[in-house]
């Protein structure tokens, strides 16, 4: 989503669903510190708080009966660096970034940390340009697909091994048994294959990953799918 002229003549440029009256705010939000000042670090600070508030309110409305723990885990899922970077990529934010020569050479426009920080800075820029309500209206649609895709509140933020264990314990069944089947690869690119076995119901599945833990998580996820949990 490139910056575009705005239909409102008093707002010269649009980005992220908002028409900026002050194009300088957007320019600063998209400027990494490697490109000099004014850059987006202060805007990022403000944007971090705004994103947290907007997402928290959306979850509070979405799940009127959810406990605090589930809401907290869901917010953490939505505002983590990789989630924000994913939104930024969907918006084409990376192509709009102003980076210094070093960051340009190393592909800074693709880096999660830079994308997430810039997205937060854009949120702050919208808020400063038009106020909180306009900011909320622009930002909520960015998160709507992620919110809709969240699992039930009591499952948010729990990894596959934890969810599998809780499912089995709730039914007073034996815990899964994980065993390492294979380990290989170079030191810098190890691969692990793990088997996960359940005795009730009888399930045997496998998982692979760059660490034994990652392979066990993948195997647990496969087991959850097998038992329909």
CA 70, chain centre distance (Å): 16
Q: Which domains does the chain have, with CATH numbers?
A: 13-148 (1.10.1520.10), 160-227 (3.30.160.20)
Active site residue 120: yes
What does each of the 229 residues of the chain score in pLDDT, given as a tens digit?
Answer: 545 556 655 556 788 889 999 999 999 999 999 999 999 999 999 999 999 999 999 999 999 998 888 898 889 889 989 899 999 999 999 999 999 999 989 998 899 999 999 999 999 999 999 999 999 999 999 999 999 888 777 777 678 898 899 889 989 999 999 999 999 887 777 899 999 999 989 999 999 988 899 899 999 989 998 998 7
Rg (CA), the chain: 22
Q: Which two tokens stand for residue 189?
A: 């690119």
Sign of CA dihedral 2, 131, 110, 103: positive
Catalytic, 183? Answer no
49 three-state secondary structure = helix
Contacts of 119 by beta carbon, 8 Å cutoff, 6+ apart: 47, 84, 85, 87, 88, 91, 93
Rounded to 10°, the helix 68-79/132-148 angle is: 100
**Could you give the CA distance from residue 126 to residue 16 in angstroms, rounded to a whole number?**
9
Choose the catalytic residue: 44, 77, 103, 120.
Answer: 120
């Amino acid at each position: 989503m490139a910056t575009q002229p705005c239909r409102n003549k008093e707002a010269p440029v649009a980005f992220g669903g908002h028409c900026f009256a002050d194009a300088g705010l957007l320019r600063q939000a998209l400027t990494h510190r490697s490109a000099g000042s004014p850059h987006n670090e202060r805007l990022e600070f403000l944007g971090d708080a705004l994103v947290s508030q907007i997402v928290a309110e959306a979850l509070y409305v979405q799940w009127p009966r959810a406990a605090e723990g589930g809401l907290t885990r869901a917010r953490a899922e939505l505002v983590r660096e990789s989630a924000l970077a994913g939104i930024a990529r969907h918006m084409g934010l990376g192509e709009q970034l102003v980076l210094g020569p070093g960051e340009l050479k190393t592909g800074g426009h693709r880096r999660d940390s830079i994308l997430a920080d810039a997205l937060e800075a854009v949120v702050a820029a919208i808020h400063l340009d038009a106020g909180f309500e306009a900011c909320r209206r622009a930002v909520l649609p960015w998160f709507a697909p992620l919110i809709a895709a969240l699992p039930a509140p009591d499952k948010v933020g729990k990894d596959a091994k934890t969810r599998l264990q809780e499912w089995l314990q709730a039914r007073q069944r034996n815990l899964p048994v994980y065993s390492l089947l294979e380990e290989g690869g170079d030191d810098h690119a190890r691969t692990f294959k793990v088997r996960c076995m359940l005795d009730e119901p009888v399930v045997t599945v496998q998982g692979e990953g760059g660490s034994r833990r990652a392979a066990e998580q993948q195997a647990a996820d496969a087991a959850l799918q097998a038992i329909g949990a």
